[in-house]
Amino acid sequence: MESFTIIIDGKECEAFPGETVLKVAERNGIVIPTFCYHKELRPEGACRVCLVEVEGAPRLVTACTLKAIPNMVVRTNTPRVRKARATIIRMILNNHALECKDCDKSGECELQMTGFRHASKDIKYKEEIRKKRILIEGKLIAINTDRCILCRRCIRMCGENMGNRVLGIMERGYKAYISPFNGNFEESGCEHCGSCIDVCPVGSLLDRTFKHKGRPWKLEKTWTTCTLCGSGCYMEVDTCEGEIKRVMGRIGVNHGENKGYLCVNGKWGWDIVYSKYRLKKPMLKRGSGLEEISFEEAMKVIEDKLKVGNFEVFVDSSLTCEEIDLIADKFRTKNVISDAFNYQRFLEKVEETLNICSLKEAFDSDVFVVVGDFLEESNPVTATLLRLKVIQEHKRIIRVGEFPSKLDSISYKVFIDDMEKTLTSESLNKLLHGKRFSLIVGGTIYDLIKSEKIAEIVAETFKGASIHPIPPESNSYYVAKKFRIKSKFNSSVSIYFVNSNEKFALSEGGEFKILFTPFYDDFASRADLIIPTDTFLEKEGKIHPPSTTKKPLKSAVKTEISLKVFLQKLPVFSQKLEPTPSSLIIPESTDTLVVISKHAKGMMSTYSNHVASVSGRNKTLEFSINGTKKKILFVEKFDGKVVEILKSSYPYREIGNG
């Protein structure tokens, strides 16, 4: 694009067509105060604090909405501008609660900062403050309306960027306030992504779990990666005296792939660290009960057991690369099973003829063929990022699935039909003709009975194209690359490394079951030896998405318990027995799909009280698609029943009408 020059405060600045004066100023180190402007949001010009003087224009203009044009001369710091700014800030402060001393935002509040810098020092209030005294309290989010400056960032974030439009403005004039429909977040379809809180410049939208829990300037910040799903979001974990107080995404500042967007699990699921289910000591089955033993004793039991029998390991695909390497190193066996089984099979099929690329590389194309359903449940932030590509960069999504999706409303073209049919259809082919496109595959696709068939079709139809297979778990790709995964156990001793116990409950192990897990629950009680491990927030390490760069984990809280340390102390166990080739019988497709919601994923709705407070009940949904009836079992929480259902169809997630 051809650039041109504009003059801001006497400085020649390079500008590109379509850019706003504010953007150009920002890049050139010229500070213009803002409130309603946010890098990630569509500019709206609601607060008017960014007023600047433009030569030839009679009135002051808002820099955040003003498009730069060649030879424009802009002044940001004249007495006239300064006075206007100060007046705007004064008017905002006039009806602001000014209760910084007990506001959670104090210390990182944009009104404080901009006020200090740009308001006049001797503000005289001519009118009495008008208080609304409306406090809206959801399970995890609160709105203190007297602190709101009506910048509408939250509305644009929730409505446009997240596509939820939970929030709106009620009443008008000085009575106007922000609220979800009927004052109720839960009933308004709030997904508790926390994005509205993240962009609120003041202490109006609040994280309730952080209320009066700490002052921002006292918090220690640790940047780490969420491994609760394959999106692998980069996030800031704030601790005070060794305890987690909150998690922030920092939208607009965060340089991670997720740009600061999080889902409820990343934003609020940190309380799993303090879950009542956390294990502290190893436990050994004696008689009908379990008995606490020491780590040394546990190590002995493992040594005894593995000396005699042959063994197998289950490797959870949300462990870190370091842990996985250690497992492979210490337990030398080809008998590896993992929840990455289905992913691996898909990957291997498409790898033959397509280019596996990172999400970033896939995003370079102009058109994305998004194949699969319920991405918003399996990888919530990846679904958000796709949405943003459309609304911010005007790229195109062609969605190929069998169920409706939230992405449909922003997709260029939606195919809801048998995926095999769509993928080979003439109409899809025509749409892609001459376009720079990439395939982005994910969601429930890997767990379908026809998954391999779809992979074959993709491999055949799109030879040579780039594909990003979205990993369902944070380290699915690494596990899939590292091991030859089998579908079933058949040795006498089985060793499970899991981060959530449904994975243990789902696959049938041998006579003696050793379980490495952070949590003790009903499912864990089926093990013979249980050894506590650390959660992702306590770990150091890396995860490896389909990309050349790995993502780092930094421990935000210290713990005595460490899977890595335990593994390092273990001797090497090897077994010569070759695994019996897995004989996976592929059943017929059924009409009921089990969808694991983001709340149920990793059993978050069990281990995290925060997540549990906003998750719903398991339900069956019926769809009629092109004349055929389809059903969904939507799982919000794992219980014995769900595990039984899934076990009967393992490793698939389709169930018959039984």
**DSSP letters along 255-289, please?**
-STTTT---HHHHHGGGGGG-TTB--S-EEEETTE
The stretch among 44-52, 260-268, 392-400, 611-619 that binds ligand FES (CB under 6 A) is 44-52
Sheet strand arrangement including 493-497:
289-292, 283-286, 529-532, 512-517, 493-497, 311-315, 336-338, 485-486
Least distance in Å: CB of 266 to ligand SF4?
2
Contacts of 634 (CB under 8 A, 6+ apart): 595, 597, 618, 619, 620, 621
Q: From CA 189, how far away is CA 155, in angstroms rounded? A: 14
Return the one option of ligand SF4, ligand FES, other proteins, none that residue 89 interacts with (CB less than 5 to 8 A, by type): none
The stretch among 39-47, 112-120, 478-486, 496-504 that binds ligand FES (CB under 6 A) is 39-47
Among 30, 46, 154, 563, binds ligand FES (CB under 6 A): 46
Q: Give whichever of 158 and 362 is closer to ligand SF4, judged by the CB atom.
A: 158
Contacts of 581 (CB under 8 A, 6+ apart): none
Token pair for residue 566? 């335990």
The 62-81 contact track toward ligand FES, x by CB under 6 A, reads: x-x-----------------
The footprint of ligand FES on this chain (CB under 6 A) covers a number of residues equal to 12
134 contacts other proteins (rule: CB under 8 A): no
Q: What is the DSSP pairing of strand 283-286 with strand 529-532?
A: antiparallel
The stretch among 115-123, 158-166, 610-618, 622-630 that binds other proteins (CB under 8 A) is 158-166
Cβ atoms of residues 508 and 363 within 8 Å: no
Q: Give whichever of 33 and 372 is closer to ligand FES, judged by the CB atom.
A: 33
Least distance in Å: CB of 577 to ligand SF4?
37
Residue 310: closest CA among 574, 610, 26: 574
Q: Give whichever of 167 and 219 is closer to other proteins, judged by the CB atom.
A: 167
Cβ atoms of residues 468 and 356 within 8 Å: yes
Least distance in Å: CB of 98 to ligand SF4?
14
Q: Give whichever of 338 and 379 is closer to ligand SF4, judged by the CB atom.
A: 379
Beta-carbon count within 10 A of 172 CB: 8
49 contacts ligand FES (rule: CB under 6 A): yes
The 181-220 contact track toward other proteins, x by CB under 8 A, reads: xx-----xx-------------------------------
159 contacts other proteins (rule: CB under 8 A): yes
**DSSP letters along 304-333, please?**
HHHHHS-EEEEE-TTS-HHHHHHHHHHEE-
Token pair for residue 127? 């009118």
180 contacts other proteins (rule: CB under 8 A): yes
Q: Which residue is nearest to ligand SF4 (CB)?
A: 266
Q: Give whichever of 190 and 371 is closer to ligand SF4, judged by the CB atom.
A: 190
Residue 416: closest CA among 431, 428, 399: 399
The stretch among 47-55, 231-239, 493-501, 552-560 that binds ligand FES (CB under 6 A) is 47-55
Q: From CA 416, how far away is CA 402, in angstroms rounded? A: 5
CA 398 to chain CA mean position, Å: 22
Least distance in Å: CB of 181 to other proteins?
4
Return the one option of ligand SF4, other proteins, ligand FES, none that residue 154 interacts with (CB less than 5 to 8 A, by type): ligand SF4
Which residues would be at the binding site for ligand FES (CB under 6 A)?
34-37, 45-50, 62, 64
Which residues would be at the binding site for other proteins (CB under 8 A)?
159, 164-172, 179-182, 188-189
